Structure 1
Amino acid sequence: MTLLLRSRWTGYAAFLVVLLLVPAIFTRVPFYTMSVAVLMGLQAITALGLVPLTGHGRLISLGQAAFYGIGGYTSALLTTRVGLAPALGVLAGVVLAAGVAWLLGRLLFRVQGHYLALATLSFGLMLGFLFAQLPLTGATSGITSVPSMSLFGFQFTSDVDTYYLVAAVLLIAVVLVDTLLRSPVGRALTAVGDSPVAAAASGVSISALRRGTFALAAALAALGGGLYVHWTSYADPSMLGLLNSVQLLVVAVVGGLRTVWGAPLGALVVLSLSEATKTLLPHLIPGASGNYEIVVYGAVLVLVVLFLPNGVAGLIRNRSK
């Protein structure tokens, strides 16, 4: 037990060192900037919720972008219309998204498998269309002039400042989710994913556990969305779009759905490919636009499913043995 605990904290410490080294590396390597580093951190936070939900609970969700948008729009509205502090706005978005997910789970978890994936995707598309029409959310123009994040009187105005904030949140989220997965609740969730019948026979409340995990995934997505709008000073319906949903799923699958390290690794790999595509593709295909990104995401997802079923994290783990 002591060796296992020591190994866990060694992993957290190594991850902290990597996060601290990112600014020195990303300012010297092609394709990378600090804005890309911030985006990687935000996507890792959002995709992290799919580790317990999909990786262990075996519940396929394409609704992370919807909760990402809920978190972003809630914080944007509260800070621009009500004058609430950004940190409290983000917290409100997290609570609202978790509550919506808990209630939505009572309906959605009546179906399983690809039907659940389609239901969560439909929810995201419906919400995105709604946000693009309502005057309250700024319709297609979105919400502008969202204030920068501030904590204890400090304003996070630059990409470097925002990166350190996002990195700190990501590290805390990784530790908390990893601790949860190693707890009795996490083991029960894994049992439900592996065999719901056996888990129910052991006295596990499957319905409550699934809704709680769905709410956790929604909360992490909303946290990422809230931080995003205070970084960009803008919230728009594309946050809830199909491309964002697909990208978040690809991030989680490429990194590895069975470990908390999969989300950061997946964000690094996928966004690196995305930045390389944006830079190189116009030279290879004249007139190519960002719409080609979804082709890249699809190709990467197919290749990973075929050759790396456990993701990059699984490959690293196998090589280290």
Structure 2
Amino acid sequence: MNASRRVRVLLGSRTAPYAVFLVLLLSVPAVFTRVPFYTMSVAVLICLQAIAALGLVPLVGRAGQISLGQAAFFAVGGYTSAVLTTRWQVNALLALVAGAVLAVGVAYGVGRFIFRAQGQYLALATLSFGLVVGSLANQLPLTGASNGLSGIAPPAPFGVELDTDLSVYYLVAGVLLVCVLAVDALLRSPVGDALSALGDSPVATEAAGVSAAALRRGALALAAGLASVAGSLYAHWSSFMDPSQAGLLNSVQLLVIASVGGLRTPWGAPVGALVIVTFSEASKDLIPRLFPSATGNFDIVVYGIALIAVLLFLPNGAGGIPAALRKREKKQ
């Protein structure tokens, strides 16, 4: 076996992508401290956005259920951790688990109603749910109302307080790796096949004896759990939660991240988060230099341009490029 074939066999194995991903995660601190507009706080944000967007792969990419309420579950996790740790001094890890359980329970319950609608009506239903969560967070004294909650303790796994962006990065990067492994395993399982079948034909899925309603609720619950974990980690990292975290813009951002990276692959969320957060941070740095009179938030412009570019040139997302290249090589 020649060297080139050995390389192709190695890259074609299931463990190779994870090895490459692990190396990339470990190399981030060395790279991000030397490249303009990259910082370790940006690296933490990329990982958190990737975790939150990862749940949209089974839900939207495979099951075909449009969701504009992912940020609401992000806020549920963040506020649960914030309230439990600041008001009742609950351990941060227990608070994170409680937030995930609450988000999964709410998602499963809400799914019993919203999945009666499909298409654009489902998108509006999930959007409405997000607006309700944001409105409650903006008014309830328990959540600090419009002022939010501050003074949230930094994460302290095994009693070691992580009070720097670098230490928090290693934590969230590890969580991201575990989440990618879990979602990839799910998508390769019979459940993943059922989700793909549901996205292709709900009628055929029901005819095969699989409950489409249960699949939809399960996919929404998984998406909610991942978003909640990201929200809890964000709350402990930033030490602050406010109602804007449940806003429509954040839900759109997560959907764009998953779409840009690739909605049908677990690698789409990390790739999309890197691309979108990079473009967003670059726009904050470059646009004021190019247009000194420009003011306001440029993020929505970045999201729109990135999504249009992907729809035109990369319909399977940036994360689908390796699969496309392998398919092209087989044809040759």
TM-score range for the pair, normalised by the shorter chain length: over 0.9
Name 1:127's counterpart in structure 2.
Answer: 133
The answer to whether the aligner puts 1:32 opposite 2:38 as a matched pair is yes
The answer to whether the aligner puts 1:142 opposite 2:148 as a matched pair is yes
Name 1:186's counterpart in structure 2.
Answer: 192
The answer to whether the aligner puts 1:108 opposite 2:110 as a matched pair is no
Gap runs ≥5 in structure 2: 1-8
* Structure with greater Cα Rg: 2
Conserved? CA contact 1:47–1:248, under 8 Å: yes
How far has the Cα of 1:288 moved from its partner?
A: 2.8
The number of aligned residues is 319
Please identify, of 102-111 and 117-126, the stretch whose mean Cα deviation from structure 2 is larger: 117-126
Please identify, of 202-211 and 311-320, the stretch whose mean Cα deviation from structure 2 is larger: 311-320
Of 202, 208, 219, 2:208 maps to 202
Of 261, 280, 288, 1:255 maps to 261
Of 280, 288, 293, 2:286 maps to 280
- Residues 24-52 of structure 1 show CA distances to partners (whole Å, capped at 9, x for unaligned) of 11001111000000000000000000000
CA–CA separation in structure 2 for the residues paired with 1:211 and 1:63: 14
The answer to whether the aligner puts 1:231 opposite 2:247 as a matched pair is no
CA–CA separation in structure 2 for the residues paired with 1:4 and 1:281: 42
Please identify, of 259-268 and 128-137, the stretch whose mean Cα deviation from structure 2 is larger: 128-137
SS in 1 for 2:75: helix
Name 2:270's counterpart in structure 1.
Answer: 264
Conserved? CA contact 1:254–1:301, under 8 Å: yes
Aligned residues: CA RMSD? 1.5
Residue 199 to residue 39, structure 1, CA distance change in 2 (3 Å): same
CA–CA separation in structure 1 for the residues paired with 2:115 and 2:89: 37
TM superposition score normalised by structure 1: 0.97
How far has the Cα of 1:99 moved from its partner?
A: 0.4
- Residues 96-144 of structure 1 show CA distances to partners (whole Å, capped at 9, x for unaligned) of 0000000000000001111111111111122112211111111111000
CA–CA separation in structure 2 for the residues paired with 1:203 and 1:290: 52
Conserved? CA contact 1:53–1:214, under 8 Å: yes
Name 2:20's counterpart in structure 1.
Answer: 14
The percentage of counterpart residues that share the same residue type is 62
**What letter corresponds to residue 86 of structure 1 in structure 2?**
A
How far has the Cα of 1:5 moved from its partner?
A: 12
SS in 1 for 2:28: helix
Matches within 5 A, 1:66-81: 66-81=72-87
CA–CA separation in structure 2 for the residues paired with 1:216 and 1:89: 18
How far has the Cα of 1:310 moved from its partner?
A: 0.4
